[in-house]
Amino acid sequence: MKLSTVSELLSQETTLIDVEVKGWVRTFRANRFIALNDGSTINNIQCVVDFENTDEAILKRITTGAAVYIKGLLVESQGKGQNVEVQATSIEVLGDSDPETYPIQPKKHSLEFLRENAHLRTRTNTFSAVMRLRSSLSFAVHKYFTENGFYNMHTPIITGSDAEGAGEMFRVSTLDAKNPPLTEDGKVDYSQDFFGKEANLTVSGQLEAETYAMSLGKVYTFGPTFRAENSNTSRHLSEFWMIEPEVAFMDLDGNMDLAEDFMKSVLNYVLENNKEDLAFLEQRQIQEDKSKPQIERNEMTLTDKLRFVVDNNFKRVSYTEAIDILRNSKPNKKKKFQYLIDEWGADLQSEHERFLVEKHFKCPVILFDYPANIKAFYMRLNEDEKTVRAMDILFPGIGEIVGGSQREERLEVLKEKMAALDIPEEELWWYLDLRKYGTAVHSGFGLGFERLVMFVTGMGNIRDVIPYPRTPQNAEF
Ligand code: 4AD
Ligand code: MG
């Protein structure tokens, strides 16, 4: 007989068949009803134990968290809450779980407690739903790009160029930290290090992706990126996954179209394919909201919110227009913003981004044409010589979810910009080569995968949408 998953059993249309299933006990009620889960679905299958004919010693070992192997007959359920159940004829406890010490009890645990038990938290409904959605979103990303003619490119994780992330990178070194070799002027001599130069973990695969876009046309990377910034917020990780498409001959308008189409496509995918998990998380959010003050509650349910994004155009607004809106906004006039907006050129803080998205426009917003001096060196300078062809996408409840731009394709302009920012040409000689040989307009963006998972699952803390979060002072597991 073939082993079935819980998901397969629950969708079986014929009953009175012999079945086998393995999984973990969620609850064992009245010495009789096992709620069994194996991760294949949010739902449990009820297994009914014939306790009168089952060894007392076995019954005692059926505890929350134990791994069991059940054989029996699939029957229509007598009870409420499920269509089918298994009448167990044989129960084998594969792995015991001591109820005295097992941390995941059948009751509500705080997210903080579960974070400390991240190795077991996917045994809860909330985290198994989140991680199934994460997996599904990842598949949807690859599906979208594959179906749209993109090549998947693996950009390096260890990088020798730190131009993009000056100061916020993790060093990769095999030098003896206590006794590193020094140069004559007393600095650490990285020429004796493993790579013969300073090396770091990448903050983005963009620059390398650009090189491939300029030959393969349409590429994307989807990999881990690392940032050593000390931001302890609910939206920052030190290690996160980023999706970065890069396309030759595409300008900023095309970039915005691509980002919007891509995001709608992956949201549609989970709306179609993850209904049960979304329904569970939607209920979870409704329950959570009950204990929050009115203004913090969600105006839409989780699936309505996803549908709203899929069905409506993202609002495209220039930085200059956004500054006007913010300058004249109530929280600015009443000095409610922590950072007041008075002049053109100010960098936008998340309070401003969230005002625009959540209060003013009430829909996803694409801000574009930012002041050159608050954005990266590689962004395409506009005719006005003050702004660059940058775009950020802001989502309700999340703030910035995408950052991208049209890239500066003109060699001289790029060199001037690098000189002004003291970025040595020797370090990015290969990046400059792209502008020497067959240069062309090109664009791309980066989507923070965990911020997308937050949006889809309604989880409020980014630490709860990645299996093992890395944040300042924390690299457990
Ligand atoms: O805006 P960022 O820094 O853009 C880049 O790295 C570009 N090189 C992307 C490109 O054009 N190819 O990061 C892109 C996105 C952000 O919008 C945000 O969603 C996410 O990555 N992100 C983070 N997510 C979690 N933790 C952090 N510390 C993040 N920093 C950025
Ligand atoms: Mg950004």
pLDDT digits (tens, 9 = 90+) for 403-435: 999 999 999 999 999 999 999 999 999 999 999
Surface-to-core class of residue 270, CB atoms within 10 Å of its CB (0-12 exposed, 13-18 middle, 19+ buried):
buried
Q: Is the pLDDT of residue 81 over 90?
A: no
Atom 24, ligand 1: which residue's CA is nearest? 448
pLDDT digits (tens, 9 = 90+) for 143-176: 999 999 999 999 999 998 766 766 699 999 999 9
Task: Tell me how far apart the alpha carbons of residues 373 and 443 are, in angstroms, rounded to a whole number.
Answer: 19
Between 53 and 370, where is the model more confident? 370
What average pLDDT score do residues 214-236 get?
96
Residue that has been written with the tokens 């006794």 in this structure: 179
Element holding 36 (H helix, E strand):
strand 33-37
In short, whether 451's Cβ falls inside 6 Å of ligand 1 is yes
Specify the pLDDT at position 295. 85
What average pLDDT score do residues 85-110 get?
96
- In the reported structure, the alpha carbon of residue 403 is separated from the centroid of ligand 1 by a whole-number distance in angstroms of 6
What average pLDDT score do residues 454-461 get?
97
Pocket perturbation via mutation, ligand 1, pick of 240, 393, 470 by most ligand atoms within 8 A of CB: 240
Share of the chain above pLDDT 90, in %: 93
Task: Tell me how far apart the alpha carbons of residues 170 and 152 are, in angstroms, rounded to a whole number.
Answer: 25
In short, whether 458's Cβ falls inside 6 Å of ligand 1 is no
Q: Give the number of other Cβ atoms within 10 Å of residue 75's Cβ.
A: 14
Atom 18, ligand 1: which residue's CA is nearest? 448
Q: Tell me, yes or no, if the pTM score tops 0.95.
A: yes
Coil, helix or strand for 321?
Answer: helix
Coil, helix or strand for 142?
Answer: helix
Specify the pLDDT at position 228. 95
What average pLDDT score do residues 360-380 get?
97
What average pLDDT score do residues 40-65 get?
95
**Mean pLDDT across the chain:** 96
Q: Is the pLDDT of residue 446 over 80?
A: yes
**376: confidence class by pLDDT, cuts 50, 70, 90:** very high
In short, whether 244's Cβ falls inside 6 Å of ligand 1 is yes
CA 343 to each of CA 45, 322, 327, 339, 347: distance values in angstroms, whole numbers, following the listed order: 61, 12, 8, 11, 10
Please, which residues have CB within 8 angstroms of residue 318's CB and are 6 or more apart in sequence? 367, 368, 369
Pocket perturbation via mutation, ligand 1, pick of 225, 242, 353, 380 by most ligand atoms within 8 A of CB: 242
Task: Tell me how far apart the alpha carbons of residues 270 and 458 are, in angstroms, rounded to a whole number.
Answer: 14
Task: Tell me how far apart the alpha carbons of residues 312 and 275 are, in angstroms, rounded to a whole number.
Answer: 21
Q: Give the number of other Cβ atoms within 10 Å of residue 322's Cβ.
A: 24
Specify the pLDDT at position 1. 72
Q: What is the CA radius of gyration of the chain?
A: 27
Specify the pLDDT at position 237. 97
Beta carbons of 250 and 258 less than 8 angstroms apart? yes
Beta carbons of 19 and 4 less than 8 angstroms apart? yes
Ligand 1, atom nearest to 400 Cα: 17
What average pLDDT score do residues 340-368 get?
95
Q: Give the number of other Cβ atoms within 10 Å of residue 260's Cβ.
A: 18
Beta carbons of 451 and 295 less than 8 angstroms apart? no
CA 110 from centroid of its chain's CA atoms: 21
CA 227 to each of CA 82, 164, 167, 398: distance values in angstroms, whole numbers, following the listed order: 46, 11, 9, 19
What average pLDDT score do residues 341-357 get?
94
Q: Give the number of other Cβ atoms within 10 Å of residue 173's Cβ.
A: 16
Residue 462 is classified by DSSP as G
Atom 22, ligand 1: which residue's CA is nearest? 448
Ligand 1, atom nearest to 447 Cα: 15
**296: confidence class by pLDDT, cuts 50, 70, 90:** confident
Task: Tell me how far apart the alpha carbons of residues 260 and 214 are, in angstroms, rounded to a whole number.
Answer: 23
In short, whether 378's Cβ falls inside 6 Å of ligand 1 is no
Ligand 1, atom nearest to 237 Cα: 26
Ligand 1, atom nearest to 164 Cα: 8
Tokens linked to 172: 């990769």
**82: confidence class by pLDDT, cuts 50, 70, 90:** confident
- In the reported structure, the alpha carbon of residue 402 is separated from the centroid of ligand 2 by a whole-number distance in angstroms of 7
Residue that has been written with the tokens 């409506």 in this structure: 312
Surface-to-core class of residue 308, CB atoms within 10 Å of its CB (0-12 exposed, 13-18 middle, 19+ buried):
middle
Specify the pLDDT at position 161. 78
Specify the pLDDT at position 166. 60
Task: Tell me how far apart the alpha carbons of residues 161 and 61 are, in angstroms, rounded to a whole number.
Answer: 57
Element holding 433 (H helix, E strand):
helix 429-436
Ligand 2 ion: residues within 5 Å (CB): 403
Q: What is the residue-wise DSSP string for 244-303? A: EEEEET--HHHHHHHHHHHHHHHHHHHHHH-HHHHHHHHHHHHHHHHTS-GGGS-SS-HH
In short, whether 466's Cβ falls inside 6 Å of ligand 1 is no
Task: Tell me how far apart the alpha carbons of residues 119 and 467 are, in angstroms, rounded to a whole number.
Answer: 8
